[in-house]
Structure formats: C-alpha cells, structure tokens
Structure 1
C-alpha cells in the first residue's frame, strides 16, 4: 500500500509538479520482516516485504526523518535516520544488512550528460551482506570487476537485448549466480541489485528494476 498524505508542513512535503526530487525505498535486508515506512512520522508505505520497492515519491529538497518499523508496530523503530534530499535528484534508499545491523543506504539514480539513446545503461550494486567481492558478467563478458558489499558501479552502455547475467567470486571462475532473460531496452537505465545470502536462505538473487532516471524528468 502506497499512501500519499495531504500536505502538512510538519509531515512529508510533496513537490510541486515542476520540481523533480524523488525517492523510493527498497527492502533488501534478508532476515528482516515486512516493514512500515514513515517519513516525518507520516505513514508512507505499509507492509513492504523483502525484495520489494515502493514507487518513487516526489519530495521537496530538505532534511527528512525516515523511520522503519515491523509491520503493524510502532514502539521501537528498526531504523531511525535523517536524510537530506538534494534538489533535482532521484534516489533509491535501500534497507540493508542483517536485521541486527539494519541500516538505510542511499543510491543516487544519476542521469548521464551524454547518453546514447540507442544504448541501454546498466550498473551493479552489491547488497548481499555475506557475499565476498563479486565480478559481474553479461553474456559471458565481464562488465564490472571486484565489487564489494555496498559498492555502486557507474552505468555502463550496452546493446539493448536479452542478457544472461552471471555473478562470480572476484577473480575466479566460481559462478555463484546465473540469471537468464534480462531484457534491457534502449534509452533506459537499469540497476542490478544483488540481494540475499551467498550461503544460506534466502538465497542470492538479482533484482533488475527500471531506474527512475529513465522516465522522471
């Protein structure tokens, strides 16, 4: 459930139509329960489950208090964090790490100045708390090398088509994940998020959402 509250200067401040800062929240903590998201003590999303994203939300540039609670509870927050949202920015904010050390991790969805409209753009974010450094492959070609936990690569331009994605332990031929049928389209931005556990449950997998910089103007 995504709730858009009415404007209140003591609650969330939503942007006017001609302004452009946006955030979404990703639940990437593998052992955390479904959560409720509050911004400035206003319920924004109820029951966000592991591997799920909220929609992008337009916001005024300012400092926000983000609290995360187990769904249906509001006594002790799992996370209580202040963030400054810069003007004209797009962020994915991930709830990361194991539950005992859960934290928010902001990821800027940056637009490129000289984007080729005939290419797709892909980057990799390592959010698996127990996986070592990883190499990222597309159709057998190494695209990103030795990416550690909470590292964010730059976007790389690739041909728009279907890809098989592979994650390997860095500088080895040890493939720990294969994900077929990643359909990347021209003139779009994608982030491949590695979530889950390298050895354990839930198992390692990738999420490949369309980034907001593809369509938010």
Structure 2
C-alpha cells in the first residue's frame, strides 16, 4: 500500500506540473480535473512500467492488469510504457507521447496488440454520475487475433441467441461500442462470430451489473485454460477483474517423480481414471477436467482405488493450470501441487526448476553461458534450495545456457549437469531434479514443456 501511495504522489506531481505548463491555467490548484487509468492488453508482452512526465507511476503491470482511476488536473501529460526485459533492463515500447487531458473526461490508456506491433489505444468517455438503477457500459475489442464479432447482452441462463434478437453491436479489433446505459441487474454476455449467431465464441454465464456502476468491458486474448479465444476484463474505476468463458476447464498434468514407486493410475472420485500406467520418470499432457474439488487416489496400476499410496483432495479452479508431482520415496510419497503460468512472452524465455530429488539434500543451482565455467568464481542463481522447493518462473534472454546443480556450498561437485539448454524467446521450459533411474546411479532431470514431449 505504501508503494502505491508513493507512486500516486509521483503521478499527481507530474500532472500538476503539466497543468502548470498548460495554457488553460496558471495554477494546478484551480484547474478542473480529469481521470486517467491504464490497462495492459498485449498478450505476449512482458510486464511493464507506466511513466508519466518521465517518472514511473505504476510498476510491474502484467497482462490483463488494469488500474483504478486517478483524479488529476486537466492539461497535457507525457506518457510512456517501458517493457521489463530479462536481467532488469527496460525498453520503451510506447511513447513518449503527449495526451491532452480535458476536464470532465475519463481516459483509459490501453497497451494493445502483440509485442511486435504494440500501440496505445485511448478510450474516452464523459465523466458522469450513473443513476442508482442503471449501469453504464462501454465495450472495447482488444484481442488482436480475434475476428469481427457480435456482442449480445441477454437474460441469465440463455444458452443460445434467441432468433430475431439483435446484437448490442458488431466490431473488430480496436473497435468500441457504447457507452450505453442499461438497467442494473443480472445478464449474460454472449459473443458470436459476426453475422453468425449460432457460432458462440464466448459465454460469460450470469454476470451482475450493479446499480450506479460505470464499466469498461475489454475483450482480450485468452491465455487461461480452455478453447475460448477471448476473456473479458472488466474495469470499474477502482481496478479490474477477469471474466472467463463459463465453460472454461482447469488444466492439470501429472509427473511421476518417485523413483522406487511402481507404475501408477490416477483416479478421481473412485470412478474416473485420469491417468493410466504412468511410470517413473514420465509425465502426462495437460488434462482438462471441469473445475471442482476431486478426491484423488494414486496407486499401483489396476488397483489405485483398492491400494492407494496417495489420497488427497484437489481443488481445481476454472482457467487455471496445475502440475501435480508425485514426490518422495514410496514409503513417504506425497503430492506436490504447483500452479502453472503458461503465458508465452515474446521478449524472453521462461524457466522453472523444481527440486524433487530425495537424495540430493539442499542444493545450489547455477545457470551459466558456458559448460566449462568455473563455478567457484560465480554465484548460484538459487542458493540452498530444499527438497520440494521450486524456483518460480525465471526470465532469461534467448540463448544457450548450462544448468548445474551442486550440494550447498560445494560448487566444485556437480550433482546434476552441466545440462545444456537452448532457450528461445517465447519459450516455456521446465525441469525437475529427480533421483536416479534404476539401474543408474546419477541424479537426473525430468524435462517438461518445450524441452520434452509428454507420454
């Protein structure tokens, strides 16, 4: 909270200075006001910093993050957007550009398009008070790869577009519908291909439009689990929330990382076999179960329900992806559940390493650009990593890297590696440190994502 307040002070100072330099007034304290907010809607761009008047006002804004309004003096404002690159570098991807802020107007600055063609969209609307029984809605198409579509605002529990019902509007990328005022209440937002009401590409399910609300609804490219090409980001003046297609599944994959455990089945609710005959050190493709809480049993192939070695309840949320790893020796086997972020970023490779070796003890992880690097002369990227810990997603520039895992404080003793990795921008790379595959005696890696195919 303290950081946000400091950033707001920076923005207010920058805007006040801009107001002083404006021909409309000589004193920012007497200027009428306007409101400004921002949205990151570039699906393959990194997180960004937003600068106003040359000073950062919002930092680390990720895809689909939208800010609340800031009320500021009217006048001219210089705005820029800096992308965050691996290693802490930044690159200005939008601007600097000057925006003339008029009194009584609300502005939304949207970073739109894939990173190679990113540009700002400036959405404006008159600043008004919405009646208690109404909701004002404006809709922006900000999904660069989605086609022209029709948008319908229908009663709840509508599974198809009724014959003869006209859409609220038709638009393509960069298009804006509204604003329009509708009666507050519950609705269903359905998006279809243009002039094809039978082909639904997005269905919100029931959504509540509260009285007095002033909403910008932005269709963005979907990066969550499921086949829907878009999701909706709803900006209400205080922040943003995402609405997924009502049929969005969860995604989950399973990794067998217990070296002395037999081949296993994975069964949900004693009935549904999710995985059959998975051997160490294999992993599955992503499955797409409905979001729910499941009782999961893992046990020997053909007898998982009768003789489970793992039994646990697993809650899967709509749109979220998970990796579930069976870790530990057979006597102490347990599930390690990781939440995955599968968004690909065009300016970086993203790497995640998991420690699942029962024999290695705590380890140091080195990432170098040469196989023969003297590890005694460099610091590990991650130090003293315990069993079952993971690095999170690490951003690296495209290139060739060598990963070496050593006992803590023993850089001259490689427990794993050096393992050569060729990383490409936009790539996802996962590796799990594992115990030896019998009859081998060396520790190894289970390679995931772009490094290996599932079974």
CA distance in 2, matches of 1:16, 1:185: 25
Q: Give the Cα separation in 1 of the matches to 2:419 and 2:333.
A: 30
Q: C-alpha offsets along residues 164-203 of structure 1, whole Å, 9 cap, x if unaligned?
A: 2210112222221114332222112222210115xx9653
Rounded to whole Å, the distance in 2 between the matches of 1:150 and 1:21 is 23
Measured in 2, the distance between the counterparts of 1:62 and 1:76 equals 24
Residue in 2 aligned with 1:177? Answer: 416
Aligned to 2:295, which of 62, 65, 72?
Answer: 65
Cα distance in 1 between the residues matched to 2:283 and 2:342: 20
1:149 pairs with 2:395: no
CA positional deviation for 1:155: 1.4
Q: In the alignment, does 2:259 pair up with 1:30?
A: yes
So what's the TM-score if we normalise by structure 1? 0.80
Which of 264, 270, 277 in structure 2 is aligned with 1:47? 277
Runs (5+) with no aligned partner, structure 2: 1-224, 229-247, 451-455
**Alpha-carbon deviation of 1:116?**
4.6
1:214 match = none
Check conservation: 1:30, 1:202, Cα contact below 8 A: no
Q: In 2 relative to 1, CA 130–88 (structure 1 residues): closer, same or farther, beyond 3 Å? A: same
Q: After TM superposition, what 4+ stretches of structure 1 lie above 6 angstroms from structure 2?
A: none
Tell me, what secondary structure is at the counterpart of 1:208?
strand
What is the RMSD of the two structures over their aligned residues, measured on CA atoms?
Answer: 2.2
In proportion to residue count, which structure has more strand? 2
When Rg is computed on C-alpha atoms for both structures, the one with the higher figure is 2
Partner-residue secondary structure (3-state), 1:58: coil
> What does residue 104 of structure 1 align with?
335
| Structure 1 unaligned regions, length at least 5 | 1-14, 212-217
The count of aligned residue pairs is 193
Deviation at 1:111, TM superposition (A): 4.9
In structure 2, relative to structure 1, the CA distance for the partners of 1:31 and 1:202 (3 Å cut) is farther
Residues 16, 89 of structure 1: CA spacing in aligned structure 2 closer, same or farther, 3 A cutoff? Answer: closer
- The one of 86, 93, 111 equivalent to 2:324 is 93
Which of the residues 307, 311, 316 maps onto 1:76?
Answer: 307
Which of the pair has the greater relative contact order for Cα pairs under 8 Å at 6+ separation?
A: 1
Secondary structure of the residue aligned to 2:359 is coil
Aligned to 2:139: none
